[in-house]
Every structure is written in structure tokens, then in C-alpha cells.
């Protein structure tokens, strides 16, 4: 991905949704949405806080829309998110170091 500095030298304007919104290290929360119909963000993670570990490239179709036959268009990024087990389960039994990783579509994340 060309850097912001390079882009500005060339006068490049990226398309809407083309660039990742989040970067590794960003603190995020998984949204509290309860969609009806197909979803791929499990209920056990709604509202949980974590951090972005990696940006998955390339941008891809929203898998929730894909479930209804949309094979292309409106691509955004998925992010590999790290969440501590103690954040997910208030009564977690195990080591406080234990954690979870999951890939989440951009529209499911909010910056905190």
C-alpha cells in the first residue's frame, strides 16, 4: 500500500473504503449490533474490546452480504483482532494471559 506521503506527492485520491480505517495497535470495540439474518460476528464477542493485530489484505466483500449472493463490490478490509479471554468471559478460568483472535469486517468495529 503506498504511504500517505507518497499519495499526497502524486495527488492520489483513494476510492471510498479502499484504504483501511484501522491500523495494527488501534484499540477497538466490536459493535453491539444484533442483526437479523446472516452474520459472521459471534454473539459472544459483541461489545468486547480489543486491539487490531493486523490488517488483512486485500480488501474483500462483506461476508454478511455475500451470504445473500453478493459476490463483488463494496470491498472493505477485515482486521485480525486480539481480545483477552478475561475481557470476553467475566468468570474466565485459565491464565490471565489467554487470548482470542478473530477476523472482523471493518463495519463491525469502532475506535475506542
Residues that bind another protein (CB under 8 A): 34, 36-45, 56, 60, 63, 66-69, 71, 78, 80, 85, 88-89, 92-95, 97-105
Of 15 and 97, CB closest to another protein: 97
Of 7 and 21, CB closest to another protein: 21
Shortest distance in whole angstroms from residue 98 CB to another protein:
5
Of 22 and 78, CB closest to another protein: 78
3-state helix/strand/coil string of 11-37: CCCCCCCCCCCCCCCCEEEECCCCCCC
Shortest distance in whole angstroms from residue 108 CB to another protein:
11
Burial class of 79 by CB neighbour count within 10 A (0 to 12, 13 to 18, 19+): buried
Handedness of CA 44, 45, 49, 53 (dihedral sign): positive
Shortest distance in whole angstroms from residue 3 CB to another protein:
20
Alpha-carbon distance of 108 to 95, in angstroms, equals: 28
SS3 107: helix
Question: Kind of pairing, strands 49-60 and 109-111?
Answer: unpaired
Shortest distance in whole angstroms from residue 13 CB to another protein:
28
Of 26 and 48, CB closest to another protein: 48
Amino acid at each position: 500500500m503506498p504511504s500517505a506521503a507518497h499519495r499526497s506527492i502524486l495527488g492520489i485520491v483513494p476510492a471510498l473504503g479502499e484504504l483501511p480505517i484501522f491500523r495494527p495497535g488501534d484499540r477497538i470495540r466490536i459493535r453491539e449490533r444484533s442483526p437479523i439474518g446472516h452474520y459472521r460476528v459471534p454473539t459472544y464477542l459483541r461489545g468486547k474490546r480489543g486491539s487490531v493485530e493486523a490488517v488483512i489484505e486485500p480488501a474483500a466483500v462483506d461476508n454478511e452480504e455475500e451470504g445473500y449472493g453478493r459476490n463483488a463490490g463494496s470491498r472493505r478490509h477485515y482486521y485480525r483482532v486480539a481480545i483477552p479471554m478475561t475481557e470476553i468471559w467475566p468468570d474466565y478460568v485459565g491464565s490471565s494471559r489467554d487470548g482470542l483472535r478473530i477476523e472482523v469486517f471493518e463495519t463491525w468495529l469502532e475506535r475506542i
